[in-house]
Copies of this chain bind each other. A is one copy, B any other.
């Protein structure tokens, strides 16, 4: 069919009337799943994304941030009930324009997109994290090595994710090359601490001030990318500590929306690592493992609606499809399977599968059944991990 005819066929889409409209900065898979939470209640979405094939385009219109006048007109439309985001790297000019209107507030993004500011906030709020030092040049790096010891991790302050923008320095001879690889970006050096596993906690805070916390989740990475999440991670002490700290962040910012915090578990103690002020990959299991998913609750939070139940319905797991993914037909019988519609590339997140089991043994059995699926990596001692052990991998 020629494209003009497609256009003709689709013209009515523009005329649909949603009960309520939300604009979301970013149109990736997080935006797609957020919009899916709005469908049943007539909450419609527009997404600000440069990529005209962005995943969320399935569920809403895509706005090009480079067409500034059109975008600003759209953001100023009185029909827009709320403006939110699904990524941190929002242009400062746009943040400035949305001051007082973005949920969460622009200041939250200004901190969470900068690893140094995150660490400084952890320190200011009494939240434990690995020792760190700002690095703006080779001299800083050498000084950091003296203070933090080797090995140590060098990270860019901004822009890194999924293992990008960071490297480990094992001995002093690697220092110059490491700085060469990062410069001229501003960096952060961090002590390299042996941790037994990574955990994350996701919380929501509504416009009304109501707060809710999901159970602690255990995350397993491979080559710097999240591969497997298991929840709930049943350790009441750790969960209590994590909730206390995340609650402190929510209160500090009077945050409206979702906050995900990643922790390392080091010698039995939590160390805060990173903050994401949005729904998070490690919370996808909530779509089948809780009555109200992180996306459902993000939507409620930014609209000032009562929050839904965040309790776990059973032992849940989430497996990412990285670089490759099963066909839709293979995934179809699983209610928690998602394909983002992105072109396959190495290390790219293309979809995931969440499941909720009746007990930990069944969960292990179900996850093991995904071994060999396209894009799936499972830890060699999966059975131990699924039973709740704290042994970890990188």
> Which chain A residues have a beta carbon within 8 Å of chain B's beta carbons?
1, 5-10, 12-20, 32, 36, 39-44, 46, 52-53, 57-64, 70, 73-74, 77, 291-292, 296, 299-300, 303-309, 328-329, 331-333, 335, 337-341
Instruction: Check if A12 sits within 8 Å of B57, measured CB to CB.
Output: yes
CB distance A40 to B337 under 8 Å? yes
By Cβ-Cβ distance, the 5 closest A-B pairs, closest first, are A10-B61, A16-B57, A12-B62, A41-B328, A305-B332
Task: Write out the residue numbers on chain B whose beta carbons fall within 8 Å of the beta carbon of A16.
Answer: 53, 57-58
Q: Are B70 and A8 in contact (CB under 8 A)?
A: yes
B341 touches A12 (CB 8 A): no
Closest beta carbon of chain B to A144's beta carbon, Å: 45
Contact yes or no, A331 B41, CB < 8 A: yes
A52 interface neighbour in B15, B41, B58, B333, Cβ under 8 Å? B15
* Given A1-B77, A42-B341, also A292-B13 (CB < 8 A): no
Known: A300-B333, A329-B303, A339-B19. A61 touches B12 (CB 8 A): yes
Give chain B residues whose Cβ lies under 8 Å from the Cβ of A328: 19-20, 41-43, 305
Decide yes or no: A335 and B296 within 8 Å by CB, A15-B52, A57-B13, A305-B329 being known contacts. yes
- The residue that A292 contacts in the complex, of B1, B42, B52, B335, with Cβ under 8 A, is B335
Give the chain B neighbours of A7 by CB distance below 8 A: 14
Report the Cα distance A307→B5, complex, angstroms.
35
Which B residues are CB-close (under 8 A) to A60? 13
Could you say which of B10, B39, B46, B307 contacts A14, with CB atoms under 8 Å apart?
Answer: B10
Q: How far is the CB of A306 from chain B (nearest CB, A)?
A: 5
- In the assembly, what is the distance between CA of A248 and CA of B50, in Å? 53
Q: How far is the CB of A163 from chain B (nearest CB, A)?
A: 26
Using A13-B62, A17-B341, A42-B58 as known contacts, list a sample of 15 further A-B pairs with CB atoms less than 8 Å apart, ordered by residue number in A.
Answer: A1-B74, A7-B14, A9-B61, A9-B63, A9-B73, A10-B61, A12-B61, A18-B341, A19-B328, A41-B328, A41-B332, A42-B339, A291-B335, A305-B329, A306-B329
Question: Would A70 and B9 count as touching, CB distance under 8 A?
Answer: yes
CB distance from A315 to the nearest CB of B (A): 16
Residues of B within 8 A of A296 (CB): 332, 335
CB distance from A214 to the nearest CB of B (A): 15
Shortest distance between the CB of A211 and any CB in chain B (Å): 15
